[in-house]
Amino acid sequence: MICKNSFSILSNRFSLVYKTLFYVLVIALIIVALGAAMLLPTLNKLVDNLGELQLFDKLGEYITRILSGEVESADFESIEALFTQIGQVFLQNASRLVLAGVFLILLYFIGMFLISMCYYSVSDVTDAYMNSGSNFPFMSNYVHNFKTSAKFALLYTVINIPLQIAFGLAITGLALLFSMVNLVLTIFITSLLVFCTLAINKTMFSLWIPAMVAGNMTCTQALKYNFKTLKEHFTSMFGMFFAYSLIMAVLFVATLFITFGVGTLLLIAMGLVFVRIANMVSYYHINGLKYYKADNVVIDNSRKFSPSVYTADEAEVAEHYHLPQQSAADKPAVEAQDGEEKKEEGDPDKKDADE
């Protein structure tokens, strides 16, 4: 239900994907420019030092000898000496490499912060559509909520980066452990762990922004609500995001080869928007709120086990008069016929005209 309705909202607000794609491309250009300014001096120095060793020429000759079966003991000694020289080059540039590592961490922090800056606006635009069927512009919403988005993005990045580092170290350690047993088993276990950690990461913060947008909570209040509510709904949310991670991985590889990376960029933006929509839909379902899943189509979550679907006109009438909704399929045909007869009896002009 959540995935189906999320796709319905995504298809009706697909223009949001293009706006998000433009935003992601702009951020990517900023990160590339900063990375070039920070890392190019170190990379140029390393390339120059390694070029003096004729690294690629010697490795090419060694590989050619292996393939032709002409490898001798002297070749092993020369390769060993070559790697010793490479180690010396890295030691000579140790300070530069440490500084480059710090720059990489800083770039990752800036990139995550800037990308997550759009999460609030995407969710707010989605909430406006779900709540009233309105199509609010993305960029004006982004500017209007810049301060709130920055607060969320900063706290989200500060919490998420150490968490991702811990996940990465755990996966690396387990992969090294299983590599002693079997290579195929190592690849399978590592892939499974990667998908599990991606699903856990998305699930852990899934209700944070929806609580801010739809619940009008502050950033810290919404985070507390997120963790409190997920105690009961973690399993279902994890299953949804685990399936999402698997599907996205398959589509990512397919678009990478079929479209030469062009479709992959659109897929990334679409995935970013879909996750925000799925989070909003989950929040509405958990709290039993009504929402638009398409133009003039409303989902009523007051029925826990069988949410009803009706048009927006009926929804407005029910909201105004506080009447329970009944779908067209549930309305008996006899009532409609009686209504028509009463209408005809109560209209003498129409009766005389018929005669």
Domain residue ranges of the chain, discontinuous segments joined by +: 2-52+93-289, 299-354
Quick one: pLDDT band at residue 176, thresholds 50, 70, 90?
A: confident
Q: What is the rounded average pLDDT of the residues 162-170?
A: 92
Residue 28 pLDDT exceeds 90: yes
The more confident residue out of 286 and 178 is 286
Burial of 294 per CB tally in 10 Å (0-12, 13-18, 19+): middle
Whether 82 and 53 have beta carbons less than 8 Å apart is answered as yes
User: For the whole model, what pTM was predicted?
Assistant: 0.76
181-213 pLDDT, tens digit each: 788 888 899 999 999 999 999 999 999 999 999
Query: Cα–Cα distances in Å, from 146 out to 140, 143, 149?
Result: 10, 5, 5
Mean pLDDT, the chain, rounded, equals 81
Whether 196 and 204 have beta carbons less than 8 Å apart is answered as no
The token pair that represents 72 in the structure block:
């001798």
The answer for residues whose C-beta is within 8 angstroms of residue 106's C-beta and 6 or more apart is 38
Task: Report d(CA 244, CA 198) in Å as an integer.
Answer: 10
Whether 209 and 123 have beta carbons less than 8 Å apart is answered as yes
299-337 pLDDT, tens digit each: 877 655 445 565 655 555 455 434 444 444 444 443 434
Quick one: pLDDT band at residue 241, thresholds 50, 70, 90?
A: very high
pLDDT at 299: 86
| Residue where the block lists tokens 């989200």 | 156
